[in-house]
Every structure is written in structure tokens, then in C-alpha cells.
Structure 1
Amino acid sequence: MKNPDEHTNASSLSQPSLDQNWRDAHEFVQALPAAVYTTDVAGRITFYNEAAAELWGVRPQIGKSEFCGSWKLFWPDGSPLPHDECPMALALQEQRSIRGMEVIAERPDGTRVPLMPYPTPIFDRSGVLTGAVNMLVDISERRETEQAAQLLAAIVESSDDAILSKSLDGIIMSWNQGAERLFGYTAAEVIGKPILVLIPADRHHEEPTFLARLRRGERIDHYETIRQRKDGTLVEVSLTVSPLRNTRGQIVGASKIARDITERRRTEQQQHLLLREMNHRIKNLFALCGSIVALSGRKASSPGDLVSAIRERLGALAQAHELTLPKASEVASRTEQSTTLHALIKVIASPYNGHTDRPRLSVSGPDIPIAGGAVTSFALLLHEFATNAAKYGALSTPEGHISIECSADNERFNLTWREHGGPRVENRADGEGFGSLLSRATVKGQLDGEISRDWRPEGLTIRLTVARNRLNTQ
């Protein structure tokens, strides 16, 4: 049997070691960057470290403050959370660890911090609950990252542009609604498939070049090309391709933005056509003025007569031009434009009639009403025909004249332009000038019609047929 003094000595020798362990543990917890605190079985705080005090913005009273040292607590949705219902209180009440709950702590200065608590009950050797320890993790940065990611995802998903990602092997990894609208595939149909499903066969060579540049970390900006939809139709797009990197900075894929530029290209083509038309019209205007001067000079007996004839014909030309311009309605404040075919032909012909009794241009057949864009289209067509006739055909000679024959049924309107008495037409000119191209575009595109020309020795014959329903479209 051991001497009691020996037992006492052994206990006294072990006590400093226990105290030292406690001091070491205390210093360790104080040094932790994470907020840590403990409570007794009633939930009264028995210890907290400096990180906890900094997180709370207050120093709770040891032995008095209960469950949590926060000034106020809230649920993630912003509703108040009573301290006696917080995760620490729940851990003590149910005597189990609580995981996965988020709360918001409000400091006395009003700032709020989203937290992830990890309360764990503490039991003695006999299994009796003696208190709990809690660690509070500030998830502000994670929450900001999640919100930024959600915002970015919402932007990507709502974008009108097609936005997708692919691996360095060219396999589609993500697909937004804009991509579905542009290419016709759903995300389920294309994710996991090669990007080549979107690339026409004659452009497959582009993909290896893109992938090689991406592996080098290069960005591809506004590359204009053609891609293929699900239904096989082609679409002009502008591509922006950027390398995607993982957390270690390694390039693992690419993000791609595809923008449909079909409308932009169409607008550019229209602008180009308008510029060419403007240039063509200006040239024709000078040529027409020259023809008017030449025609007027043949009949003028004095400089005064010449000036008068030129002034009258140029005035008539201006009146014809007025018919091609829309007029604002004073009643409805909208664009209106209407006349009849015979009235339009009369105005177009007036610069060439001069002072003779016989008109240079005559018209026969039904006098049909025309309105809206059809007025502009017909005026431009007739002006084009007359200008060419003044330069090369029947209106370039004093004896020449033109007959215009009209006919119509329920669906189509037909016009035949015949030139007589002009220079003999030896053969048809090679190629097709811009005026002819413009006439053809006007007839097909705006009037849903067809136009043909027949160069006969006695003069040019033009046959024009258009859709009847296009003549009165406002």
C-alpha cells in the first residue's frame, strides 16, 4: 500500500501540468483567427476569444450573456432571430451538433455579417452535458462570391447573345438561352457534343486555329464568320472567344459569345445600295439636264426661249421628284402618299414634251390608283426608263416617242414600255448597269414582280408585271 504522502505528492506534481495544458489551450484558442466561444449548460457565455469579440463588435459579460455575444441576430431572409432560438441554443436543447445553418449577426454600429455557426455540446466522462463550444465562420466573402456568380449567371442567361463554353477538346460545356434562340438547339441537345455541330463543313478549319490560340492564352475579338443552325440554315455571326482558367491559373477551356450580325450586314448592304443609288442619281441628273438643254436648244430661236424651255422642263422634273417623297398628313400625323398611274406618268413625261402638240410619252389602258411605297417605286422606275431613253433611246431625238400600255387582272398589273423613233438599236449592251440592277431590285423586292427588256432595232421594249396588292400598300 502506498504512502498517502506519496499520493499527495503525485497529485501535486501532476497539477501544474494540467494548469499548463489549460493555459496552452487557452492561448491556442485566443490565437485562432476564427471566432470561438463556450457556454455552460444554461447557455451563459463562459469564454470567448478576441476573434469572437471583433466579429460581434462587443464584449459580452462572462456568466451573464446568453447563447451568443452578437448584438442582434437575424435569419438569412432578414427576419429577427431571438438568441434563445439560435443554433447554440438548439445544440444545448437537443444535445447535438448543429451544422448547415446560416445566421446574420448585427453589430452595434449596424453592420451585418453573415455567419456559419458550428455549435457542439460538451459532455463529461459520465455523459452529462456540461456546456457547448461554438465556432463562428464569417461567410461574407463567400456570400459576395455567390451573389456575384448568381448575378453573372443571370446576365448570361438573359443575354440576347449566344454565350457558351467549351473544353480545350472543343466539347460544349454550357449553353444559354441566347444560344438556343440563335442556333435552335436546347442545352440538353448540345452539351457534351463537339462544337463542330455549329460550324459548316467548309469552315471546320477555323476550330483548330481557335483552340491553338486559346491554349496560348490569346483572346479572339469580333471574328466575323458563318455558323450553322439546327435546321441547317446559315447565320452570319461575330465571335468573341476568351480562355477560361481554373483556380490555379491553368487554361481549361474557352468562353464564346456569338452575336447575330445578319441585320447589321443587311443594313450595311442597304446603306451601300443607297450610296450607289445616290451616286447613280446624281450622274443621271446631270445627264438629264444635258439632254434637256440639248432638246430645248433644237427648238429655241433665241437665248430667252432656251432659258424658258429649260426652266419649264427642270420645273416639271422637280414636280416628278416630289411624287417620290412622302407627305405628312395634317390630320393623322402619319405618312401618306397616293396618286394614279396616269398622273404619275404625266408628271414624269412633262420634262420631255416641250411645246409640241404630240406628247412624247402616251399611256393607254386602265388608270389604277397607287399609294404608299408603290408611288416611290413606280416613280423611280419610270424616271429610270425615261432617263435612259433621254440619253440613249427615243427621247434623245426630236421625233422619238414612247407608248405605255397597261393591263390588269385581280392579281397582277402589267405595263409595257415601247420606244419608237429613236436611234437604231444595233445590239444589246453587254452586262447589266447599276440602273438595271436597281430597277430589278425595286421590282422584285418592293413590288413582288418581274421585269424584262427586249432590244429591237426599232427601239427598246420593257415589260413589267407586279403584284396588284403591292400598289396600294401604305
Structure 2
Amino acid sequence: MAALISGFDWATTRLGPRSAWPPCLTAAVDIMLSAQAQIVVFWGEDFIALYNDAYAPTIGDKHPRALGHPARENWAELWNDLEPLLHSVLQDGNTIAAKDRPFYIERHGYPETAYFDISYSPVRDADGRVLGVFCIVNETTERVRADQALRESEERFRAVISQSATGIVQWELDGRFVLVNGRFCEIVGYPESELLGMRMQDIIYPDDLRENMRLFEMTMATGESFEIEKRYVRKDGSLVWVTDSVSGLRDSSGRIQRVAGIVIDINERKRAQEVERRLAAIIASSDDAILSTDLKMVITSWNTGAERLYGQSAEEAIGQSVMMLVPDDRSEEEPAILARIRAGQKVEPYETKRRRKNGELVDVLLSVSPIYDAYGRIIGASKIAHDISAKKEAERLQTVLVGELNHRVKNVLATVMAIARQTLGRSDADKFSVETFEARLSSMARAHDLLIHGKWEQAELTTVIAQALSPYPKDRFEISGPPINLAPRAVVSISLALHELATNAAKYGALSVPDGRVAIAWSLEGGKSDRLKLRWEESRGPVVMPPTRKGFGSRLIESLLAAELNGKVHVSYEPSGLICEVHAAAGIGWDQALDPEE
């Protein structure tokens, strides 16, 4: 600029040649050129411009044409703003200073607002007259804009903090809160005024404090951020689960001076996880088979109850079609169920059959419900199958038992009617008829007691004989034979027959005298033990005479046993004692029992 000023034809301006310049102007220009500050001098009424190298960049493309010309020519866009300042100095002798003063200027081919620190001072001659304006300026546009951007950023940050749906908090290294937003206050239940007088340690649940402090110390040592799930103690004493993302805030030297945390309330998530854990435990421990499928009928979950019921592990079942469980004759069930599930309907429990891994069918009580995703869309089906095999078997057995009981009751009533007719219906019935009738009914009752203990399925022959002969001394009998299980109808028949034989022996035969004995023996005959032989033989009793007519007892023995056992009965009246032999085919009223010694 010194060369430009020296070579400029000042004679063409109102300043005239440099030799004619007043000393105060020469001094001002000398000071200006040697200074490092941005300086421009506006001289005279026309405010002719002179400036130094430091100032030239601030006027952009106005340089160098602005040199030696009136300010109004080159600062026309801001003249209305600049002229009053210059006149105030030139005419009134004022000194004007300002910080970050804005000026609207066009210096790079486009208009902009630039900012300057300015100091406008009067230049006086020896007589004290103001002849020019000495302007020291410092452009602060970048700093002002940076400050504005920073303020705007801070305002946005404050807005984000205040309106954030997450808790934002800052605290000193000793834990004292220095900043909390509204959401954090909501999470912990304290107002901002109270929190700013508290420490982070004051609201952390004691059981979580040690781990929190360990991670904090790690951050102080390494500078690394950390995230922790922990519980805060709210003002009302309740606990709230949060995720806290913690970072250190560094100063210009890189040292951590404060700590910031982003806090998210996860209380509902924790509750949901707890519910999920409980449901998972219930499902895992359930005896029922619980599984789920997607809308393509592909199995997506499989509990241990399903493993037990169907015989397949979760690894084997998951990913397979649920149709592998459906019997061929029920193949339409699953598509029908899926159609109802797609419609959002629950399939109420119903009885059906499903197939095990080994191919066996199992009776189940099946219920099905839709599975929804987080958006309320149906994405699959949940199935619960309860094994009702035992129930079905019990129902079948009950049906059989009811039918059998019905049959047996009819048989018992027929037998009772026959006993009554023979005992009480004779014209020569004596005073013993009622007692005889009661004795026969008691024998039937004892036989039924045996069947009750055998669940109405069978009774062992030795036990039947002992029960039928219980009214008589045991030492009067010799009983021998292999274990034999009798069917219910044979139990009643043999009990009544033995009762009749014992009653007859007590009146007329071996049991009517002190030394009389009765031998009862049975055996299995045939290559495969397919025939039963039962023998009653009396001895050491009175001489036996064949009866002149058959009474009810004889007819009962011969006809009832023969009919019920589908065999033959032979009664002989030997002088030494009565003998009764019964021959029955295998499977008709009896089965060979397991020999305990085998």
C-alpha cells in the first residue's frame, strides 16, 4: 500500500500532491502504513479514502479502486449507515467506538453483513481543526457468526434437553447434580430444585451402587463410556429401572471434569421381561404339551411337555410342519383351525387324537389361540394339548364295568330269586327256611366281598374256598391245589356250591361228627393245563345213603356250576362220604395264576 499511495496521482484529487498535504495528514498516513492493525483514513469533506495493507482484505473487490476516491463512491450500499458516523467525527470532533458493529457491505460480488470492532477518531491540524477521520477497525465477522452459531446450538441443545423423551443429566465428579432435564425429574420423581442439591449416589438403589461406582472409576481411568442397567429410588420410595449411558466431559486439557448421562426408563420393559420369564417357566414346567406355529403351520416353539407327550425333542420338532402330529384321518383339522386363527378366533378345548413319534395315537384335549405381534397382527397360533389317555381309558373301563355290573346284578337277582323259590316257596318249609335263605345270601355276599377287593376282575381260588368255609373250623379241612384266578361269575357260583356242600356236610355228612374231615383238591390237566378238575371228598363221617329226591342244594351244585363253568359236575354218594367232582375247560371262568416260585 505504501507503493500504491506513493505512486498515486494525488494531484487529481482534492487532497492535491503529497507535498501539499498538511502535516497532520502526512503523520496519520505514516502511522497507518506502519501499523499492523486494520486502518483506513477518510479525509476532508469528501471523505477520500486511504488505507493500509491490513485493511485491504476487509473491502474485498473494492481494493484498489477505493484508494484516493470519496467513500461514497465505493461504500454506496452502506453510505446511509457510514456517513452519520463520519460526520459525527468530522463535524463534531467526536470519537466513536463500538464492538461487533454490523455493516451491510458488498465486497465479494454479493451483499453480506459483516461485523467490526471500530474506533473512529478525529485528525486535527495545528489549530485544532478536524480535517479527517482516523478509523481503526477489526473485523469480527467470523467470531460473531461462530458465537451466534454457538448460541443457536446451545438453544437447540437446551430445547432438545428440555423436550427430550429421555432423561439427560450432568454431575460433578463427586456426584453432585449440575444439570437435569424435565424427563429425568419425572423418572426419579424429584423436582429440579431438589435434585440440584443432591448427589447421584443419593438416589441409586444400594444394591446397584457398587457396580455403578466400579464402572465410573473405570471411566475415570480409561476415559471409556459405559452403559448400565440399574435402579433409582424415587422420592416416594418406589424403584424404577433405567438404562444409564455415561460419558466423561473433558476440559481443554483433555481431563474429565464432569460426567453426563442419558437415562432411559426401562421399568415397563423389565416388568414385561419378568412376565415373559414367568410364562416361560410355566410353559417349560407344564405337564401339558405347549407349542406354537406360524401361519404356514411350521412349528416355532416346543416345550418339555410336548417332548414327553409326542416323543420328539425341540430340536427335532422346531421347523417341521405340525401336520406330522395329525393322523391321516384327521388331516382337515389343522387347516380348519388355521382358518379360525387367521380370523382372530380362539379354538375352545376339544377332544381329538394326535400322533406320537413312534406312530402311536394319543387322545388329547386340544385348545388353540392366536399369537399377535407388537402391532396387533396375527402371526401364528399357540396350541395346548392335554393328555387324556387315562381319562379315555377310565371312561372305557367304566363303560365295561357298568355293563358287567348290570349283567352281574341281573345274575345275582336271578340267583336270589331261585334261592328264594327253593328255600321259602315249598309247602313243607319249616322253621329253618328263613335261616337257610339268610345263610345262602351271606355266602353270596362274602363272594362279592372278594370281587370288590379284586376290583371286580378276579379272585384267587384258595381265597374263595377259605371265604366260603369261614363259618367252620379250619382243622376239619384239607385244601390243596395250584394258584388259580377265578372270573367273577365263577367266584359266585363256586362260593354258593361250596356253601351248599358245607351246609349239607354239617347236617348229614362229615362235618356233623367231631372226627369228620373234608378234602378239597384241584389240579390242572392236559398238555397245556387247559382243564380244571376240582374235587370235594368227605370222610370219617356217618354212612351216606343216596337221597330219595334232589333238593335245591344238589340242583344248584349240578346245574349252576355246570352252566357257569361250561363243564361237567358229578356228585356221588359213597358210603364213606359224599364226593363232588367238577371238570371245567380253560378260559371259561378261570385263568392259571402265576406260581410264586416261578
Both proteins in one fold, TM over 0.5: yes
| 1:3-152 correspondence runs (5 A) | 5=97, 8-9=100-101, 10=115, 19=151, 22-23=154-155, 25-39=157-171, 44-58=176-190, 68=200, 70-74=202-206, 78=207, 80-81=209-210, 84-85=213-214, 87=216, 90-99=218-227, 101-107=228-234, 109-123=236-250, 129=256, 131-152=258-279
Q: More displaced, 171-180 or 243-252?
A: 243-252
| 1:25-424 correspondence runs (5 A) | 25-39=157-171, 44-58=176-190, 68=200, 70-74=202-206, 78=207, 80-81=209-210, 84-85=213-214, 87=216, 90-99=218-227, 101-107=228-234, 109-123=236-250, 129=256, 131-296=258-423, 299-302=426-429, 304=431, 306-326=433-453, 339-340=462-463, 342-343=465-466, 366-368=480-482, 378=487, 380-383=489-492, 406-408=522-524, 415=532
Task: Output the CA distance in 2 between the equivalents of 1:82 and 1:420.
Answer: 93
Shift in alpha-carbon separation, 1:120–1:320, aligned structure 2, 3 A = closer
C-alpha contact 1:365 1:407 (8 A) present in aligned 2: no
CA deviations 1:49-76 (Å, max 9, x no partner) are 233234334457788755x2642344xx
Local SS of the residue matching 1:469? coil
Shift in alpha-carbon separation, 1:292–1:453, aligned structure 2, 3 A = closer
Task: Output the CA distance in 2 between the equivalents of 1:28 and 1:420.
Answer: 107
In the TM superposition, what is the alpha-carbon distance from 1:468 to its structure 2 partner? Answer: 2.9
Q: More displaced, 246-255 or 130-139?
A: 130-139
CA deviations 1:203-253 (Å, max 9, x no partner) are 212221111121111211222111111111111111111111111211111
In the TM superposition, what is the alpha-carbon distance from 1:186 to its structure 2 partner? Answer: 0.7
Task: Output the CA distance in 2 between the equivalents of 1:158 and 1:214.
Answer: 26
C-alpha contact 1:73 1:82 (8 A) present in aligned 2: no
C-alpha contact 2:231 2:241 (8 A) present in aligned 1: yes
Local SS of the residue matching 2:350? strand
CA deviations 1:387-437 (Å, max 9, x no partner) are 99xxxxxxxxxxxxxxx983249x9795358999759x9xx9xxxxxxx9x
In the TM superposition, what is the alpha-carbon distance from 1:467 to its structure 2 partner? Answer: 3.6
Task: Output the CA distance in 1 between the equivalents of 2:196 and 2:444.
Answer: 103
Q: More displaced, 256-265 or 304-313?
A: 304-313
Instruction: Report the AA paired with residue 161 of structure 2.
Output: V
Task: Output the CA distance in 1 between the equivalents of 2:210 and 2:236.
Answer: 18
Shift in alpha-carbon separation, 1:192–1:471, aligned structure 2, 3 A = same
Local SS of the residue matching 1:259? strand
Shift in alpha-carbon separation, 1:110–1:470, aligned structure 2, 3 A = farther
Q: More displaced, 186-195 or 311-320?
A: 311-320
Name the counterpart of 1:356. Answer: none
C-alpha contact 2:168 2:262 (8 A) present in aligned 1: yes
C-alpha contact 2:288 2:306 (8 A) present in aligned 1: yes
Task: Output the CA distance in 2 between the equivalents of 1:251 and 1:111.
Answer: 36
C-alpha contact 1:317 1:347 (8 A) present in aligned 2: no
Task: Output the CA distance in 2 between the equivalents of 1:318 and 1:342.
Answer: 14
Task: Output the CA distance in 2 between the equivalents of 1:37 and 1:273.
Answer: 77
In the TM superposition, what is the alpha-carbon distance from 1:344 to its structure 2 partner? Answer: 5.1
Name the counterpart of 1:468. Answer: 593
C-alpha contact 2:450 2:464 (8 A) present in aligned 1: no
C-alpha contact 2:522 2:534 (8 A) present in aligned 1: no
Local SS of the residue matching 2:339? helix
In the TM superposition, what is the alpha-carbon distance from 1:292 to its structure 2 partner? Answer: 0.9
C-alpha contact 1:117 1:134 (8 A) present in aligned 2: yes
TM-score (norm 2): 0.56
Instruction: Report the AA paired with residue 81 of structure 1.
Output: R
In the TM superposition, what is the alpha-carbon distance from 1:18 to its structure 2 partner? Answer: 5.3
Task: Output the CA distance in 2 between the equivalents of 1:174 and 1:142.
Answer: 22
C-alpha contact 2:299 2:320 (8 A) present in aligned 1: yes
Name the counterpart of 1:393. Answer: none
Task: Output the CA distance in 2 between the equivalents of 1:171 and 1:83.
Answer: 45
C-alpha contact 1:407 1:413 (8 A) present in aligned 2: no
In the TM superposition, what is the alpha-carbon distance from 1:168 to its structure 2 partner? Answer: 1.3
Task: Output the CA distance in 2 between the equivalents of 1:289 and 1:143.
Answer: 75
Task: Output the CA distance in 1 between the equivalents of 2:214 and 2:558.
Answer: 106
In the TM superposition, what is the alpha-carbon distance from 1:43 to its structure 2 partner? Answer: 5.9
Shift in alpha-carbon separation, 1:412–1:35, aligned structure 2, 3 A = farther
Local SS of the residue matching 1:81? helix
C-alpha contact 1:42 1:131 (8 A) present in aligned 2: no
Instruction: Report the AA paired with residue 218 of structure 1.
Output: Q
Shift in alpha-carbon separation, 1:36–1:295, aligned structure 2, 3 A = same
C-alpha contact 2:208 2:231 (8 A) present in aligned 1: no
Name the counterpart of 1:360. Answer: none
C-alpha contact 1:60 1:69 (8 A) present in aligned 2: no
Task: Output the CA distance in 2 between the equivalents of 1:143 and 1:182.
Answer: 33
Shift in alpha-carbon separation, 1:42–1:293, aligned structure 2, 3 A = closer
Q: More displaced, 101-110 or 35-44?
A: 35-44
C-alpha contact 1:406 1:414 (8 A) present in aligned 2: no
Shift in alpha-carbon separation, 1:256–1:94, aligned structure 2, 3 A = same
Local SS of the residue matching 1:119? strand
Shift in alpha-carbon separation, 1:462–1:255, aligned structure 2, 3 A = same
Local SS of the residue matching 2:312? coil
Q: Which runs of 5+ in 2 are unaligned?
A: 1-37, 41-95, 102-114, 116-139, 498-519, 536-555, 570-581
In the TM superposition, what is the alpha-carbon distance from 1:367 to its structure 2 partner? Answer: 3.6
Name the larger-Rg structure. Answer: 2
Q: Which runs of 5+ in 1 are unaligned?
A: 328-335, 351-362, 389-403, 429-435, 437-451
In the TM superposition, what is the alpha-carbon distance from 1:255 to its structure 2 partner? Answer: 0.6
Over the matched positions of the two proteins, sequence identity in percent amounts to: 27
Local SS of the residue matching 1:301? coil
C-alpha contact 1:70 1:107 (8 A) present in aligned 2: no
In the TM superposition, what is the alpha-carbon distance from 1:35 to its structure 2 partner? Answer: 1.6
Task: Output the CA distance in 2 between the equivalents of 1:111 and 1:266.
Answer: 54
Q: More displaced, 272-281 or 124-133?
A: 124-133
C-alpha contact 1:413 1:467 (8 A) present in aligned 2: no
Task: Output the CA distance in 2 between the equivalents of 1:27 and 1:420.
Answer: 110
Instruction: Report the AA paired with residue 96 of structure 1.
Output: E
Higher relative contact order (CA 8 A, sep 6+): 1
Aligned length: 397
